Amino acid sequence: MTVHDQFAEDLALYALGSLDDAVALEAHLEECASCRRELEQLRGDAALLALTTSGPKPPARAKSRMMKAIAKEPRVNRAKVRAPWWSVLGWLAAAATIVVAATLWRQNANLNSIVATLSGKLEQQKAESEQARRIAELLKAPDASSFEVLPVKMNTPPPPAGKAIYSSQRNTLVFMASNLHPLPAQKSYELWLIPKNGSAPIPAGVFKPDAYGSAMVVNPPNMPAGIEAKAFAITIEPEQGSTTPTMPIVMMGTGT
């Protein structure tokens, strides 16, 4: 009997996890590529047989190869009782179930991510729709006033320009600007409402221009209701904005 024949008899039981004393076989497997290939083939056949409990019928060749390997096992009395080979199929079927469950979990996670993305886009569309509705209402408001906000000092062309449309009754403000100059680091423009009653300027939105010098402010939060505007002004402030204007005022405009 060759070395391979000696260990070949135990490979089928080892593939099924039923070999009591596997120390010598495992030492041989570390040095024998041929036996390792045979072991992997037997394990694959065992997995296919396990799937027959809940899946499609395995190839007849795999079943035949596994049965022949088991048939070669010598019928001798051993001190320890070995578990029947089919007892291993239970945990193999469980392993296959775990793989299927993991796949379904990943698919479910992907679906949840898609749903979250679509929900975010829907909320964004609702917000944009609400903003468009409020702008339309502002343009139709009987008390809506237009303010041309222009540079306090003459600039090289094209000069910055802005326009504010404001309704004190609806507490609604839209400001649009173009050709704004780039800002220093950690700075922003801040829009101010100058009340007609002579009280202190009211912060009306912090903004930065885009790469083309354009910017827009729509319905800034915390605007007090019912304040009639005499003018609007723009200053350069820290990024988070200020509660009082920092001089100088760079742009300003009165109502038309």
Residue 43 confidence (pLDDT): 74
pLDDT digits (tens, 9 = 90+) for 27-52: 888 888 888 888 787 777 666 655 55
| Pure H helices in 17-172 | 23-31, 33-50, 60-71, 89-140
Q: Which of 160, 203, 204 is nearest to 182 (CA)?
A: 160
pLDDT digits (tens, 9 = 90+) for 234-251: 999 999 999 999 999 999
pTM listed for this prediction: 0.51
Residue 231 CA, distance from chain mean position: 44
> Any idea which of 10-24, 53-67, 145-159 has the lowest mean pLDDT?
53-67
Residue 26 CA, distance from chain mean position: 46
Residue 223 confidence (pLDDT): 87
| The pLDDT of residue 78 is above 80 | no
Q: Report, as an integer, the average pLDDT of 53-74.
A: 55
Band (63; pLDDT cuts 50, 70, 90): low
| The pLDDT of residue 66 is above 70 | no
Residue 168 confidence (pLDDT): 92
CATH of the structural domain 145-254, one choice from 2.60.40, 2.40.40, 3.40.50, 1.10.155 = 2.60.40
Quickly tell me which residue has 């009997």 as its tokens: 1
Residue 85 structure tokens: 């080979």
* Domain residue extents for the chain: 3-99, 145-254
| The pLDDT of residue 77 is above 90 | no
| The pLDDT of residue 62 is above 60 | no
Residue 54 confidence (pLDDT): 47
Q: How high does pLDDT run on average in the chain?
A: 79
* Portion of the chain with pLDDT greater than 70, in percent: 74
Q: Which of 91, 81, 32, 85 is nearest to 63 (CA)?
A: 85
Cis peptide before 59 (omega within 30 of 0): no
| The pLDDT of residue 79 is above 50 | no
What residue type is assigned to position 230 of the chain? Answer: K
pLDDT digits (tens, 9 = 90+) for 166-182: 999 888 999 999 999 99
Residue 151's H or E segment, with its range, is strand 145-151
Q: Identify any residues that bridge with 162 across adjacent strands, giving them in sequence order.
A: 149, 177
Residue 92 confidence (pLDDT): 63
Sheet of strand 145-151: strand arrangement: 202-207, 187-195, 229-238, 251-254, 145-151, 161-167, 172-178, 215-218
Residues counted in the chain: 256
Residue 35 confidence (pLDDT): 83
Residue 73 structure tokens: 């096992």
Residue 205 confidence (pLDDT): 96
Greater confidence, 6 or 60?
6
pLDDT digits (tens, 9 = 90+) for 98-144: 777 777 777 777 777 777 777 777 777 777 677 777 777 777 788 88
